[in-house]
Structure 1
Amino acid sequence: MGASTGEGADLPETVMVELRRTATELLGNVTSHADDMLAYIVERVPEASADEELRGLTLGSCSSNLEAALSMVRHGIDVSAAAAPVTALEHARAMAARGYSVDVMLRFYRMGHAYFTERILAGITEFVSGAGLAVEVLDSLQRYAFAYIDRISGEVATEYVAELDRIQTRARAARTDAVRALIAGERVDLRRAERTLSHRLTGWQTGFVCFTDRDDVDLARVGAAVGAHLGSSHPLLVPDGARALWGWASTPGAPGVTVSDLRSLAGQVPEPVRVTVGMPAQGAAGFRDSHVQAQRGRRIVELGGRSASVTSYAEIALVDTMSGDLDLARSFVAAELGGLAVVGQRADEERRALLAVLDAQGGLAAAAEALGVHRNTVLQRMRRAEERRGRPANERVAELHAALYLAQVLGRTVLAPVPDQS
């Protein structure tokens, strides 16, 4: 029997006979050897005996592998025919289910091989008389055992990875189901949902959405940065396809989500990614409401083609409210802005000047500081804006303010498609 053939064509008949007889002798006491192997492994790999079920599977794997390998030697079966015993595969699945690494599981097989070498083969002279013959039998058993372990460990590692994938798939599905149930406002067992999500649903919930138009962006890293900024070191992150990520930060208090609060976060968001953040709200209802706001914020960002990397829903809530019907929003902007409701750089400058003045409650100096231009420039642009509009800025002020804000956030979506030629 060779290292990997098991056919015995390359061994002298005397060696072959002794090899099979030795395997038969060892098989006669396989239960005792399995018990000893278990003790040997547990001493070196304590994880193999973490609980009674795992200990039983470890023992079963020792016994079934010893019996399988020795039986194959006894009957001259090629090692290429070896297949992992059922108990060995179940042991691999149990190791994956308990969260042990594949390295820990494979160490179990290395220690099993070491036991075979140290304990069983060390007493080879008890089975084979004659030093020379014993050495040849020992060499053949060693090579066969190595080839067997090499083959079987590959199979159990494959099963471990497959089981880990099944576990992760089930966990992702359970997390997705729990998230969607919460978003839908269904009655859920909150404690069970918290365990499934590893996320507290009490206290303040702040939802956010990270999205991009590329496939090579690590959105999970962006989501972790957003969560940390909002005060959660372990935010709940749920992929929404390959180009979007839903996230929630659970915190004892409400985090700040104003433009100034989120300004420092913008530097941590890579160029191809946009982030929208909902308003903080409490409990399971807040989990849903803040997420809905972040999603609606994404709609506004995409409609308006906003360049800002981070957008708070608080900043655009009014625009969201007024833009549910885009045709109605366009009509409103056109009616309130008149000739100012067109695409173009000058029209844009005039709208911004007029909006800055309204934001400053008529203060030209404050508007000029906000825009970074001279006070007289603001005044000139404001007057041209009034001329385009066809009525003064102090007429229908609330409507004018809303229309200007709609135009600033949504741009071409609500402005006339004909470019400004003035």
Structure 2
Amino acid sequence: MPASLEIRLADELERNSGAYAELVLDRIAAEVPELLADERKRDLARTGSQALLREFATALRHELGSIHYHAPTAALAYGRHLAHEGVSLPAILRSYRLGQEVLFARAAQLALEEDSGDEAVRSLARIGALSFRFSDGAMSDVAHEYETQRELFIRGTLAQRASTLQALLAGRAVDVAAAERTLGHRLDGAHLAIVAWSADPAIAGEAIAGAARELVRAVGQGRPLVVTDTPGEATIWTAPAPRPLERSVAALLPPGIRAAIGRPGSGVDGFAATRRQADLARSVAGHRDGPAVTYYEDVALAAVLLRDREAASTFAAEELGELAAQTRAAAELRETLTGFFANGHDQSRTADALGVHRNTIAKRLRRAEAILGRPITSRPRELEAALLIAEVDAPGP
């Protein structure tokens, strides 16, 4: 009695699993080439395919049509490797259907060679049904293994990335080449850090980074490094471009999003320094109703003065006296004094800068001296520092 179609196909698969595996790999190379992008992937794919073919041959030979099939160890190993390489799960699952097509095509050829007529058709139907159950079981196992490995890999990668960033920002010695691989970002060039944030901490860091994309393009160039580990905040490192005008930059941020920008820095030290400066600029910007974009170089002194905010506020209050009051009149006098110092103690230039008459400036300066109880030139550095603290530490509206 001639062997059944199932047994004939099982015999072929067991004798020629290597040749059939190559047929499957050829189909994969044509339709999902990313699965075979290098020799390591191809070797694992070949081993996994041979193991699957032998398992299917066993199912055919013993008519194991009612059990739940599982992927062999070699197929799971290939799935784990692809998960670590970032290959998509749909691409992997597609390869199983391609293998199923190769097998069914060969089964159909064998059926055409049969003289049994209806029995060959029934055998072919049984092989087709078995191939679906077998593939579904194997694909389910591989998908579970893939998702498990991706989760573990992502967790490990994120933890390693966070640890690397922490070491860099703390100034600890790191393996620069390894750090660059972990971050996917060169550390030997120029860096510019941007800290973007929202007053609403519920907004995800990824959304904030997206909202700041146009700003990053305006002040930087090349592919940025984006970190969104802190709720309501995103930190972006980019290579610095020529600084655009402040007013053009501010318009690039949507309402509710603000940003602070450090100075450009070079190398590993510059990577950490520009981030530290952006954080300091944010500490200043976050306590006042100022522009949407704050550059560290514009508020560096204020950032230093406000490192101890309570002490700075006390100093300003003692130095300014009634000029520290949160009234319109006191604010006008503080603005005049700030302009006077900024314009080299020149009353005419101060008047031009503020858009008022020179006599108005003179009158305001006399009024300020009366409140202070001393000439404004008697302690100019202390007075300028106090005015700066009052400006950046004033309560918002």
Common fold: TM-score over 0.5: yes
Aligned to 2:266: 282
Of 147, 150, 153, 2:136 maps to 150
The separation in 2 between residues aligned to 1:381 and 1:310, in whole angstroms, is 31
Of 272, 296, 306, 2:280 maps to 296
Aligned to 1:394: 377
Deviation (angstroms), 1:293: 1.6
Q: Which amino acid counterpart does residue 371 of structure 2 have in structure 1?
A: R
Of 139, 154, 158, 1:168 maps to 154
The separation in 2 between residues aligned to 1:369 and 1:55, in whole angstroms, is 75
Q: Deviations over 1:241-267 (max 9, x none)?
A: 22222222235xxx556xx64442222
Q: Deviations over 1:144-168 (max 9, x none)?
A: 2123323433442343343333333
Distance 1:333 1:76, change over 3 A: same
SS at match of 1:411: coil
Normalised by the length of structure 2, the TM-score is 0.86
The alignment's C-alpha RMSD in Å is 3.0
Aligned to 1:358: 341
The separation in 2 between residues aligned to 1:105 and 1:134, in whole angstroms, is 32
Q: Which amino acid counterpart does residue 265 of structure 2 have in structure 1?
A: A
Deviation (angstroms), 1:134: 0.9
Q: Which amino acid counterpart does residue 167 of structure 2 have in structure 1?
A: A
Aligned to 2:257: 273
SS at match of 2:223: coil
The separation in 2 between residues aligned to 1:385 and 1:401, in whole angstroms, is 13
Distance 1:80 1:407, change over 3 A: farther
Greater shift after overlay, 100-109 or 317-326? 100-109
Aligned to 2:194: 208
Distance 1:135 1:283, change over 3 A: same
Aligned to 2:230: 241
Deviation (angstroms), 1:89: 1.8
SS at match of 2:220: coil
Q: Does 1:228 align with 2:211?
A: no
Distance 1:91 1:215, change over 3 A: same
The separation in 1 between residues aligned to 2:143 and 2:261, in whole angstroms, is 42
Aligned to 1:119: 106
Spell out the pairing of 1:75-154 with structure 2 (5 A cutoff): 75-78=62-65, 81-126=68-113, 129-154=115-140
Greater shift after overlay, 217-226 or 138-147? 217-226
The separation in 2 between residues aligned to 1:74 and 1:66, in whole angstroms, is 12
Distance 1:26 1:44, change over 3 A: closer
> 8 Å contact 1:210–1:219 — kept in the other structure?
yes
Aligned to 2:292: 309
Q: Does 1:195 align with 2:181?
A: yes
Alignment length, in residue pairs? 389
Aligned to 2:309: 326
> 8 Å contact 1:224–1:233 — kept in the other structure?
no
Q: Deviations over 1:108-130 (max 9, x none)?
A: 1121111012123321255x542
Q: Which amino acid counterpart does residue 96 of structure 1 have in structure 2?
A: A
The separation in 1 between residues aligned to 2:130 and 2:246, in whole angstroms, is 64
Deviation (angstroms), 1:288: 1.7
> 8 Å contact 1:350–1:381 — kept in the other structure?
yes
SS at match of 1:81: coil
Normalised by the length of structure 1, the TM-score is 0.81
The separation in 1 between residues aligned to 2:371 and 2:65, in whole angstroms, is 92
The separation in 1 between residues aligned to 2:44 and 2:37, in whole angstroms, is 11
> 8 Å contact 1:207–1:249 — kept in the other structure?
yes
Q: Does 1:45 align with 2:57?
A: no
> 8 Å contact 1:208–1:247 — kept in the other structure?
yes
> 8 Å contact 2:76–2:145 — kept in the other structure?
yes
Q: Deviations over 1:49-90 (max 9, x none)?
A: 433332232223222323333433444445561222222222
Greater shift after overlay, 396-405 or 26-35? 26-35
Of 43, 50, 62, 1:56 maps to 43
SS at match of 2:255: coil
What are structure 1's unaligned runs of at least 5 residues?
A: 1-16, 414-422
Greater shift after overlay, 140-149 or 21-30? 21-30
Distance 1:55 1:396, change over 3 A: same
What are structure 2's unaligned runs of at least 5 residues?
A: none
Deviation (angstroms), 1:379: 5.2
Q: Deviations over 1:131-153 (max 9, x none)?
A: 11111111122122123323433
The separation in 2 between residues aligned to 1:83 and 1:381, in whole angstroms, is 87
> 8 Å contact 2:313–2:390 — kept in the other structure?
no
Distance 1:412 1:390, change over 3 A: farther
